[in-house]
Structure 1
Amino acid sequence: MTTVAYLGPAGTFTEEALWKFHERGCFGDGEIDTLPVDSPSAALNAVREGRAAWAVVAIENSVDGGVTATTDALIEAPGVQIFHELELPISFAMMTRRGTSLSDVKRFSTHPVAERQVRNWVKDNMPQVSFTSASSNAAAAQAVAEGTADVAAAPVRAAELFDLEVHASGIADLATAQTRFVVVGPAGQPTERTGHDRTFVVFDLPNEPGTLVQALQEFAYRGVSMSRIESRPTRKVARTYNFYVDLEGHIDDVPVAEALRNLWLRANSITFLGSWPSSTTDSREDALARDMERLEAATEWVRKAREGR
């Protein structure tokens, strides 16, 4: 039986994504055994240590941006890469122990990313509550069941699992909110090219003027579009950064391969984190406009970093 690690306990959106991946056959044709853990890092370490064949983790939220706990964990140790993705529409239910009114609750709990997605609803409907973060939305529901919180924002399934009362559902301050989840496994041969793919790389550059702009131009010269770029501290040397870039295309596409080959010549290090079928579609005009915005933002970020701001 194939073991799949995920951010638990049961009832999280990550678990929902896990079962959708299973329906698509992303873990093979056999049965699976789920392994709930308390963080994306723990899920990926379960793969690295051989305790799980796969891990499912959230990597990007349309409201809050990249999930830094996941992006940091992907490169904290070698040996894993991404093979599949899906986007899951996100909305929440407000749940309490049975017989509790929303007007009586004081302690509100959910994952910090979820809190930012329901903040306006909470302000309008439960202005008296104080917020306590939880490791996952389902963990918040469990805290309500155990009496350490009064109300949680979580998937409806969590209310069923922990025998809680749902007072409102379909809650999302932004109706179009989605979270992108990925399947991570041991590093190996990338998922087969489809012609509509995504490639993810992480690199760091010499601390010299213009290096980031020059690196990103390797993609622009070859018409390789970026769907996301962000920076995170390397945690090795102060004021040094890793750059995380999602590219539209597969590493077997000649333009992507050539861009990465030339980036390797410029970078201090580069880590390939997979090529896999993309779950999103943009027009070429939208992609080019987005790339220009990201290039301008990255240039401005470097300028401010140089000025020490």
Structure 2
Amino acid sequence: MTDAAAARRTYSYLGPAGTFTETALGQVPEAWGQQWRPVRNVGEALADVVAGRSDAAMIAIENSVDGGVSTAQDALATMPGLRIVGEYLVPVEFVLVGRPGTKLEDVSLVSAHPVAYAQCLQWLTSTLPAHAHVPASSNVASAVGLIDGTSDADAAIAPPGILEHHELELLASDIGDNPNAVTRFVLVSRTVAAPPPTGADKTSLIAELPDDHPGALLEMLEQFATRGINLSLLASRPIGDALGRYRFVIDADGHIENERMADALLGLRRFSPKVVFLGSYPRADRALVHYPERYSDDVFVEARDWLRGLLSGEPQE
């Protein structure tokens, strides 16, 4: 094996070719020209990373229309040894495709994944009012079924990237009902040190409440609020061991190397019986994180120096 082949990296993603996840992976410069490994589900992608079959995996974590991707959140909460190293945003766009030669007026039976179908329902009702829907297992499977003969549908709803991989007739584009829909993806590797802070960073973690009592969630959130840290995501997921027991998926603005974030994580660790640090990484939108001056790093450093002086008996000014 040549040195170049030995150094080739492998990236797992939800396949087959043409998915939104593949589009997200295409935004990672270090993945260009490397080995891309299509898998069937999020668990398989992350298991590839844990087992060393892949160097990293691209997974969907949140959608602006449907909210958090529960399977991804639960997998990150329960699979040790993983770290988020980057995030990427992909606009959720859909096209209607058919077999070569198909015309839009010929379409009466449409194949689509149920989520995609729901996000295009207004367009379908207006453009094809007499259509019927055939559920598909995925956005790509809906289109592939037209080609391999496993689907009786006249057309399929699919991501635009499908046209780069299969000979299909484009019947309509931009058929999604929400032009601002976007899916957030994260690139997950084995546990590594966080990249240096950029000033436009995000920290992801999962925490559990110590017990069920009035104000427990407020106490957890105060770990961030009292240090001037904004939360861009707070989602609850059942732990699964009993009714009423939840873990919380948190995205906080800032980096673990920021004094205010480090102090918040220390407070959270003292409060919560279980904290899973998922990573600090650059925000996909590269928006700088703003915070009040009283929460700057210098303020936290000065306070620590002041306390050290008290403990050492230094004269106070």
- TM > 0.5 fold call: yes
SS in 1 for 2:174: strand
Deviates more, 1:101-110 or 1:139-148: 101-110
- Of residues 132, 137, 142, the one that matches 2:135 is 132
- C-alpha separation between the residues in 1 aligned to 2:75 and 2:108? 34
- Of residues 2, 6, 9, the one that matches 2:16 is 9
- C-alpha separation between the residues in 2 aligned to 1:223 and 1:165? 52
- C-alpha separation between the residues in 2 aligned to 1:81 and 1:109? 36
Amino acid at match of 1:192: P
Amino acid at match of 1:223: G
2:275 corresponds to 1:273: no
Deviates more, 1:269-278 or 1:40-49: 40-49
SS in 1 for 2:120: helix
- C-alpha separation between the residues in 2 aligned to 1:41 and 1:222? 35
| Counterpart position of 1:294 | none
- C-alpha separation between the residues in 1 aligned to 2:265 and 2:136? 39
Displacement of 1:49 after TM fit? 1.2
- C-alpha separation between the residues in 1 aligned to 2:170 and 2:73? 33
Displacement of 1:284 after TM fit? 5.2
* Per-residue deviation, residues 187-234 of structure 1 (Å, max 9, x unmatched): 121122111100001011112221101100110000000001111111
Q: 1:166 to 1:195 in 2, by over 3 A?
A: same
Contact 1:109/1:134, CA 8 A, preserved across alignment: no
- C-alpha separation between the residues in 1 aligned to 2:112 and 2:288? 32
Q: What stretches of structure 1 of length at least 5 have no aligned partner?
A: 286-309
Displacement of 1:37 after TM fit? 0.7
Task: Give the structure with higher Rg (CA).
Answer: 2
Contact 2:49/2:57, CA 8 A, preserved across alignment: yes
Contact 2:254/2:289, CA 8 A, preserved across alignment: no
2:190 corresponds to 1:186: yes
Displacement of 1:68 after TM fit? 1.6
| Counterpart position of 2:265 | 260
- C-alpha separation between the residues in 1 aligned to 2:92 and 2:288? 21
Displacement of 1:139 after TM fit? 2.3
Give the aligned length: 279
Q: What stretches of structure 2 of length at least 5 have no aligned partner?
A: 1-7, 292-317
- C-alpha separation between the residues in 2 aligned to 1:155 and 1:43? 20
| Counterpart position of 1:217 | 222
SS in 2 for 1:174: coil
Deviates more, 1:214-223 or 1:274-283: 274-283
| Counterpart position of 1:235 | 240
Displacement of 1:9 after TM fit? 0.2
* Per-residue deviation, residues 25-81 of structure 1 (Å, max 9, x unmatched): 3x4xx8411100111121111111111111011111112211222112212311111
TM-score for the superposition, normalised by structure 1: 0.84
- C-alpha separation between the residues in 1 aligned to 2:108 and 2:148? 15
SS in 2 for 1:195: coil
TM-score for the superposition, normalised by structure 2: 0.82
Contact 2:200/2:289, CA 8 A, preserved across alignment: no
SS in 2 for 1:214: helix
- Of residues 39, 55, 58, the one that matches 1:56 is 58
Q: 1:255 to 1:113 in 2, by over 3 A?
A: farther
Q: How does 1:59-74 map to 2 (within 5 A)?
A: 59-74=61-76
